[in-house]
Each structure stands twice: as structure tokens, then as C-alpha cells.
Amino acid sequence: MRNMLAIASKELRSYFAGPIAYIAIGLWALLYGYFYVAILQFFVRNSMQMMGQMGGPQSMNVNQQLIRPLLQNVTIMMLFVLPMVTMRTYSEEKRSGTIELLLTSPLSDLQIIMGKFLGAMGLYAVMLLVTVPHIALLFIYGNPEWKPILTAYLGLLLLGGCFISLGLLISSLTKNQIVAGMVTFAVFLMLWIITWIGSFSGPTVDQLTKYLSIIDHLDDFSKGVLDTSHLIYYLSFITFGLFLTAKSVDSERWRG
Amino acid sequence: MIEVQHLTKRYGRVTAVDDVSFRVERGEILGFLGPNGAGKTTTMRILTGYMPATEGKAIVAGFDVFDQPIEAKRRTGYLPETPPLYPDMSVVEYLDFVAKIKGVPSSGRRERVRGAMERTRIADMANRACSKLSKGYRQRVGLAQALIHNPDVLILDEPTAGLDPKQIIETRQLIKELAGDHTVILSTHILPEVSQTCQRVVIINKGRVVAVDTPDNLTARLRGNETMYVQVDANGADAGSLLASIPGVTRVAAADQREGLTGFEIESEHGHDVRRDLARAVVSQGWGLLELRPMRMSLEEIFLSLTTDDVAAVAGGDAAPAATPEGDAVNA
């Protein structure tokens, strides 16, 4: 545990010591701000129209019409920003030789991997934190429910965990962080758009791609539904990603 | 302290380390000597638990590096060929991190970090970022990192590479100081380093151990006859024939000649010390005896003769390595 936290804090510190954390958080905040303004404008215009049509004050559901699409757009931001977070985790250690320090220290592979995972999750948590004030603002002018927001954030955290575990795996496969970043982005994108072919290819494929798509499992979370099948899906995705990372690091040893 | 038995490492079809066995006793400094690509780094990486061997066994500080890697690693300090520094950490931060993952308890960690910095003389760079350090300092931070958890065994892969002469001397001194409490294996392809710092040498070539012995024994083993270098001021007289007439002398060859001084290489029968007779003969002639010293085959030549299959072929048919005065070889 102590070792794991030592690695995690080292990872977190190295994000903030270099430009990566600032660029990632900066881009994240910029994109999020843009989405926020765009969706808010759309929401305001819609509710004005509703008022006109219904001939009186009608309140639209802030959760359903504003917060849910907003947080779903956060997944697009993850697509672009998270590869930047994970691309160097292993590849940079391999390139600079510091991996030799880690692998010859009295640490288990699991401690190293979990440490790196937690470090990246820490940075991701900071990014999610950046999105909170905007939503808090909505409580001043409207009255959204807070419970669906909480489940949505849980969903985002889990989804981020999936992306990060996958990013770690890809980073462990190469010495070149640019390669790691590009491949990670491509794989994320693939997982994101996998449902597109499903809707035209009959019910079986549709079901299958829906199940595989890591985005579709977020839907219930953002509606405020806590379904154990989605929880299990995300947790097993993360576990499997980290397991493969462990195997990849181990096989590197054998190959030398 | 370290026991290596029949260690073999293959990468696909290439055999990097082939049936290597040796032992290192507690407190000893073992030199690991070989040309580039001989399998030094691979052997060290196996000993540190960085990679497993294909066959064989390695026991470090009483723990098998394959079966109990965590216990073995806890007792091992390792300086890889390139010091494993994190560029964006300062020296203190870096050493503190290493101390943490090496299992130094938090109560004594600050002391340990300071102690390691003082020992390796890097305290003045404590707050400098690792990326801004010169090669010599990087190497020393790497050394500090290796000994921060006070390990029983220190494994140093070319610890003096890239240092300037003064730093090399300091580092060698430091390694010698460490030897009492720690068992040290150091690899190098610089021969004088071995003769100056190590008590025993393992010479490795193409993955195989070609010799294990003390530097002195290795030198003696390869020196067939006793060879002497004598420089005399004979005032133009023929000193060579006089020296050749001394009993026990088997061969006299003029080595150099300048300003009336003549140097001779004199071989004598094994076990027959002719130095007294030589001195007496020269002095009784009224000549000046300016120099008289035994010559040894330098480690360099031993190394060459052991690691080169066919010396003549390599040297273009010139000659097998000849004995040179030891003093000249040290700074080669």
C-alpha cells in the first residue's frame, strides 16, 4: 500500500512538474467551458420556446435537458485528453531507463501498475473537479436533482478508469510516447464509435456493439440509474486492462 | 554473499550469458571484466532481478532472486549503465522517492538521504533538478540511489563511465570504502580499474567466464618467466654481454637507448631471482645503475590474450602482446 502510494504520488508529481498536467487540464477546461455555454444556450432557447407554446411558465428538467448532455460531452473530451495523460506512463520510463529502478526495487508489479493507475486517476479526478463549479452554478438558478449528478460522476470516473487502464496497457507496449498516444487515441475512438455500425446491422450486432461500447454503459449512470451490470462491466474492464498491462510488463522482462 | 550457478540467458537464438558460475564473499569487491557485449550487463540484470535467467540459479544475500525476488531486491543496490534519474525531480526529491520504494522507514529517511548525498559528495546539488546535472553528478546521484537503503550487495554497472579523472579516483575510493560493509560487484571494460579496486576478477567473453582470480594471480599466471627491466649508464661499453653472462639469465634484449643510457629486458629462469647479481655486476664495473624493476604482463595483455581467440589474426600478424612495464599500462 505504502509503495503503491509512493509510486502514485511520484506519477502525480511528474504530471505537474512537466507541462502535461497544465496542458491537459487547460484544454479540458476550455472544451468543457465551450460545451457548457453551447448547451446552456440551447437549453435556454428551448425553454423560451416552450414557454411561448404552452402559454405560461414551464420548467424543463435541468437534469435531463442540460446536465445529462453536458456530462455526455465530457466523454468526447476524455477521448482527446486522456491519451495525453497515459501515453508516457510506461513508455517514458522505458526510454529513459528508470524502469530499471522500479523493476529492481522491492516492489511487486501490481504495486507499480496500481500506483501508476492511481496517479493517472488522480489527475483525472482533478479534471473532473474542474467541471463541478459550472454545475454548482445551476443550483443557484434552477433546482436540479443532485442524486443523478452523483451517479453520472461515478459513471464518468469509472469510464475514465477504463480509458486509463487501456492507456497504461498501450503505453507499456512501446518506448515511444508519441506512438503510445496515437494508438491510444485510435483505440479510444474505436471504442467510442463502435455502436455506429450496430444500428444498421440487425439486432444481434446492435446488441453486441452496444454491450462492447464503453460509452453506452454510461447512459444509465447519467440518467441516475445505478445498474450493477454496468458497474461490473466497468470494473471488469479496468481489471482486465490492468491485468494485461501486468502481463505486458512481465513479458518485457522475459524478452529483455 | 552472492552465488551464481550455471546461469544462462538466451534471447531467442542468441546466447547472451552461457553457463556462468562464480561466488562473491561478504565484503569483497568483484570486478566483472569483459569487452562490450560480453554479457556483463545481462548477468547484472539477472542478479538484480530485473530479468529472469533462462537456466541456472542466483542467490543474493541468502535469497534466490527468482523465488524470493522482493527479499533479494531489498538487500541489493543497483546502479545501471545509465543512472535511472527522473529529469523533473530535484536530487533530494529523487533520493527520497527511491528511499521510499526501497523500503526505508519514514522515520530515518531524511537522515539516509542526507547520508547518501554526503557520501557521494552531491550535497551541494541537493535542490538541482536531475535534468540539469552534469554527467559526473548524474553518475554520483545514481550511486547515492544504489546505497540509500544500506544494502548488503551493491551491483554497479560501469560506475566510472563518463567521469573525469578526478571523479574517477574519488569514485574508486568510495567503492573501496563501501566494500567493508557491502559486497560489491562492479563491471567495467577499463582494466586499470580492476587492478586498482577489485580483490577478485571475473573475466567474461561472449557470455562465458574465461578466468576468475585475483588481479595479482592473473598477472602471475600469465607471466611465464621472470622479466626484469634494467637501465644502465655503461659509458659506451657493451653492457649486454656482461648481463647475459650472469648465471640464471636466459635472455637479454636491448629495450631502449638514449643519451648514453641503455635499457635492457632481462629474462631469467622461473623462481631464480637475479636482481642482486645484476646490481652487483653493474656496480662492480663502475657503471651507473639507474633503474631495476620487475616487469609484469599488464592486465590489459592478459585480458587480450584471454578474450581474443587469435591474437595474431587480430593484430594483423604483428605479434603476440609483449610485456610492458606495468607503470605505463596503468593509464592506458
Delimit the domains of chain A by residue range: 2-255
Q: What is the pLDDT of residue A217?
A: 86
Q: What is the pLDDT of residue A127?
A: 93
Judged by CB atoms closer than 8 Å, whether chains meet at B84 and A17 is answered as: no
- The average pLDDT across A3-20 equals 90
Q: What is the pLDDT of residue A8?
A: 94
Judged by CB atoms closer than 8 Å, whether chains meet at A104 and B76 is answered as: yes
Gap between the Cα atoms of A48 and A56, Å rounded = 10
Q: Please, which residues bridge with residue B258 across strands?
A: B261
State the residue for C-alpha cell 522475459: A254
| Mutation to test the B interface, candidates A95, A104, A112, most B Cβ within 10 Å | A104
Q: Nearest-CA distance from B88 to chain A in Å?
A: 6
Q: Name the CATH superfamily for B224-295.
A: MTH889-like domain (3.30.70.1340)
Judged by CB atoms closer than 8 Å, whether chains meet at B101 and A6 is answered as: yes
Contacts of A100 in chain B (CB under 8 A): 45, 50, 78, 80, 84
Contacts of B76 in chain A (CB under 8 A): 104
ipTM of the complex: 0.85
Cell numbers that stand for A16 in this block: 505537474
Q: Nearest-CA distance from A103 to chain B in Å?
A: 6
Gap between the Cα atoms of A227 and B132, Å rounded = 52
Which of B52, B97, B102 minimises the CB distance to A254? Answer: B52
Question: In the structure, what pLDDT confidence band is assigned to residue B219 with cuts at 50, 70 and 90?
Answer: low
Q: Are A120 and A81 in contact (CB under 8 A)?
A: no
Judged by CB atoms closer than 8 Å, whether chains meet at A105 and B85 is answered as: no
> Where exactly does CATH 3.40.50.300 map onto chain B?
2-220
CB pairs under 8 A between A and B: 76
Question: In the structure, what pLDDT confidence band is assigned to residue B93 with cuts at 50, 70 and 90?
Answer: very high
Gap between the Cα atoms of A102 and A93, Å rounded = 9
Domain spanning B2-220 has what CATH number? Answer: 3.40.50.300
Question: In the structure, what pLDDT confidence band is assigned to residue A36 with cuts at 50, 70 and 90?
Answer: very high
> Where exactly does CATH 3.30.70.1340 map onto chain B?
224-295
Task: Tell me the C-alpha to C-alpha distance, in Å, between residue A252 and each of A99, A117, B5, B43.
Answer: 11, 19, 24, 17
Burial (Cβ within 10 Å: 0-12, 13-18, ≥19) of residue B124 = exposed
**Chain A nearest-CA residue for B43:** A256
Contacts of A6 in chain B (CB under 8 A): 97, 100-101
Q: Nearest-CA distance from A187 to chain B in Å?
A: 29
Q: What is the pLDDT of residue B48?
A: 92
Question: In the structure, what pLDDT confidence band is assigned to residue A185 with cuts at 50, 70 and 90?
Answer: very high
Gap between the Cα atoms of B297 and B225, Å rounded = 11
Task: Tell me the C-alpha to C-alpha distance, in Å, between residue B168 and each of B121, B175, B196.
Answer: 13, 10, 11
> Any chain A CB within 8 A of the CB of B88?
yes
